[in-house]
Structure 1
């Protein structure tokens, strides 16, 4: 794994297989249409990316009026993973990444519970934040009886990573964040006023113009966008669990992960940064050559968090 060094960001750091993959994808797909070209309804019904088939072992449970959880169980759970999907707060669903959840269920030994949170623009801030908080509180109360373990982890991708941090902040303020043993935060957006890498993005999976419209959808009141809930980069990050920040060097959210990694450490927390040269947004959910290594590191990190609890309880 490359260290944080200037050479990580240059073209020479991109492995040949990654450069070839990127070139092949660019030739095959060109510049993909964004949400606004397709339209939100069409993007939701047809999808901008193929949705993997549902897991045959998955099931849904309703925990409150209009709020459900999508569960991919582990046969021998050592913990429960609260998962928050991405999609710019506009797209996606709790059942749209069963392949990812199955992998973590099997490799980490966790029952994965994904939140079916409300989407923008119909339901802007704080709807998704409230739903994820409610799901976390439900797990704190019911994980043991429903899933056989009270050891909890949290993970999210893109918008889901922001929601994961916001959920931890709410729990921390209630004295409950220490119940979560670790956070896998993948290519998250942590500044809704846009970091430099967002502002300068002109190509790739996310451009500045697309990001600006996404922000307008989930945070229509501009005056609120630097509040800690919408931009956790500006929050007091003390008292949060260990975190792994995963991001590619071509991602418009590159700065977000690098900045949050440093701020997590500065607040006294434990944090790791996993950088993948030549990877763009959401690469761990694609056949990208870096995806297998990145997912394996995420699995190891989450397993280590569970192992730390096991060691503490045997002392």
Structure 2
């Protein structure tokens, strides 16, 4: 039986452990597609799952990796044929279904998106879930009236995967982008991505009243907690906040005054279960009019499967930035 290499995660009598294993090459069932994976990426969620520091996986053992791009090898789904390039992100990958840190990935065909014109496997995984989530946030904001004329967009956690993608996409579309980052050594890099200026958390530290001076036309928040509460108090009338992350906490202590008196909207973004039509639409945008001009040079690192444990630890310790590609 043919086998393939995969980065597999266990939680058993030996505790949490993970590494490269040889697995039997799967045969797709009716409605499934077998993909030869070319590239994946490393997201914060992947690092939590791979180290066991977060309760991400629902079942064990499981192959990690929530992003995949490659070619169809065998298809038992009417929409796909052998040789076609595809993207897989979200759904059950590295949650209750084997993920993409492997040479092969077998998934329901309904989870896939055809590779849009303008992207290849590498470019698609530079974007990955991070770029897709940033696009989802922008989609939700624009559907709710967001436009450059409302004022600057604040992006928190700007040096991370979603944050850096949001900065690049928004700047490309003509928005004034203010990046919030606590890493001074990355300020020049964020400006290269398109940030007009960089601020630290102290810029919002004094925002304690229910309503403060309106500064932000919109915000994409990757942090949550008290920072998100401070953002609600400093939005201009009609502004939108896309809430994506909760690294600083899942509780939100604020009042309804920004939402009632200023018409501020708080928009939650879940990139996992996006319906297929919208998923394809967003990938089409990312391949064309929303594609960052500097996309090809955005990855800070490229690793192989053997390099994942080190990258996971560095990411959780705050010693990485931007997008990290995994070449299979």
TM-score (structure 2 length as normaliser): 0.25
Greater CA radius of gyration, 1 or 2? Answer: 2
TM-score (structure 1 length as normaliser): 0.26
Higher helix share: 1
Higher strand share: 2
